[in-house]
Amino acid sequence: MTRRLRCRDVERLMLEGEDRALPAGERGFVEEHLRACARCRGFAADRAFVRKELSGVRWPAPPEELVLRTRRTLRDAGTAAPVVVPAWILVALAAVTIITSVWLAIWLPDITPDTTLADLSLAARAAVFIIVQNALMLFCAPIVLRTARARRAELESAR
């Protein structure tokens, strides 16, 4: 190993040295570099300082109430039957989807860029209404849901 080590390489080697014993060659180069480079000595000192501070942090134990609440939730989750959507809801959703698709397929060809709302028949207007309503719902639903959740969380934390 004859190449000259850059400070960045030495820093990386120092971090590696915390994980495993470095080969004698690399270790020698690092020590030699450290003797000559104040910047890297600073890095090593900072690193030791942070590790020492972290080892002195007393981590809080989980609150008893949280441990019990989570245990209860886990038991409920373990014993709860999976949520099954009733068959009639699936059939109704499929029927609505098919009817809407057929409706749109019939009336959409009547709508061109030149047509105004006044030119359209009642059924074609209904088709336009369905499209606009779906677009608005797709755009607004996440905002409304997230705003409601944030308000609920705010109220709960205030209690």
Partner 1 sequence: MTSFDELYDMYNAHIYRFACALAGNAGDAEDLFQETWLRAVKALPAGRETAGRDPKAWLFTITANAHKDSLRKKRVRRLFLLERTKSMATAAADADPGWDVSGHSREDGAMRSDIRICLRRAVSRLPGRERRVFVLKDIEGFKHEEIGRMLGIPEATVRTLLHRAVRKLRKELAEFRPAANGHPVFEEGRS
* Residues found near partner 1 in the complex (CB under 8 A): 11-12, 14-22, 27, 30-31, 34-35, 38, 41-51, 53-63, 66-67, 69-71, 73-74, 77-79, 142-143, 146-147, 150, 154, 157
Q: Which is nearer to partner 1, 62 or 109 (CB)?
A: 62
Q: Which is nearer to partner 1, 116 or 157 (CB)?
A: 157
Tokens of 15: 């971090």
The least distance separating partner 1 from the CB of residue 45, rounded to whole angstroms, comes to: 5
The least distance separating partner 1 from the CB of residue 46, rounded to whole angstroms, comes to: 5
The least distance separating partner 1 from the CB of residue 115, rounded to whole angstroms, comes to: 35
Q: Which is nearer to partner 1, 25 or 42 (CB)?
A: 42
Q: Which is nearer to partner 1, 79 or 112 (CB)?
A: 79
Hey, what long-range contacts does 39-47 have (CB within 8 A, 24 or more apart)?
39/7, 40/7, 40/10, 40/11, 40/14, 43/7, 43/10, 43/11, 43/14, 44/14, 47/14, 47/15, 47/18
Residues 6+ apart with CB under 8 A from 111: 120, 124, 127, 128
> Contact at 8 Å (CB) between 14 and 43?
yes
The least distance separating partner 1 from the CB of residue 145, rounded to whole angstroms, comes to: 10
Q: How many CB atoms lie within 10 A of CB 107?
A: 19
The least distance separating partner 1 from the CB of residue 21, rounded to whole angstroms, comes to: 6
Q: Which is nearer to partner 1, 35 or 159 (CB)?
A: 35
> Contact at 8 Å (CB) between 33 and 5?
yes
